[in-house]
Amino acid sequence: MPIDLPEDTRKVIEEGNKKVKEWVEKNLDWKAEDWPKIPKKEEVKAEVLVESNPILGIEKYLGMHDKDQRIAHFPSLKLTNDSFRTKLYLKFDPSLKEDIIIFGDKFAEGKDLKRFMKIVNFFRELVGIKTKVLIISIHIPKVELPAKAKGLGLSASAGGAAAKALIEAALPEFSNNNRFLNVVARYLSGSATSSAAGGFSVWFSHRGIDSKDCYAVRIDKDVDAKLVVVPIPKAIKTEDAHGSAEKSPWYEHWARNKPENVTKLMEKIKEKDIDSIGKIAELDSLNLFHLLVSGGEFFNWDPFTLDVLRKVVLLRMEKGLKAYCSMDTGPSVAIVTDSKSAEKVKEEIEKFVKESGRDYPIYIADIAGPPRKLDLSEKDEILTPQVKELLRQKGVKIE
Q: How many separate domains does the chain show?
A: 1
Instruction: Tell me the per-residue pLDDT of 172-190, one tens digit each, with 9 for 90 and over.
Output: 999 999 999 999 999 999 9
Query: Model confidence over 268-315: pLDDT tens digits?
Result: 999 999 999 999 999 999 999 999 888 877 788 899 999 999 999 999
pLDDT tens for residues 227-259?
999 999 875 665 666 677 888 999 999 999 999
**Tell me, what's the pLDDT at 296?**
76
Q: What is the pLDDT of residue 150?
A: 72
* 215 domain residue, yes or no: yes
Q: What is the pLDDT of residue 240?
A: 60
Q: Does some domain include residue 236?
A: yes
Q: What pLDDT, on a 0 to 100 scale, did the predictor assign at position 226?
A: 98
Here the CATH number for the domain that contains residue 57 is: 3.30.230.10
Q: How confident is the model at residue 319 (pLDDT cuts 50, 70, 90)?
A: very high
Flag whether 263 is in a domain.
yes
Q: Report the pLDDT value the prediction gives residue 153, as an integer from 0 to 100.
A: 76
Is residue 111, in this structure, part of any structural domain at all? yes
Radius of gyration of the chain (CA): 21
In a domain, 312, yes or no: yes
Note down the domain range covering 189.
7-393
The pLDDT assigned to 278 comes to: 98
Residue 334 predicted with pLDDT over 80: yes
Q: Is residue 399 part of a domain?
A: no
Residue 59 pLDDT greater than 90, yes or no: yes
1 domain-assigned: no
Using an 8 Å Cβ cutoff, are 64 and 190 in contact? yes
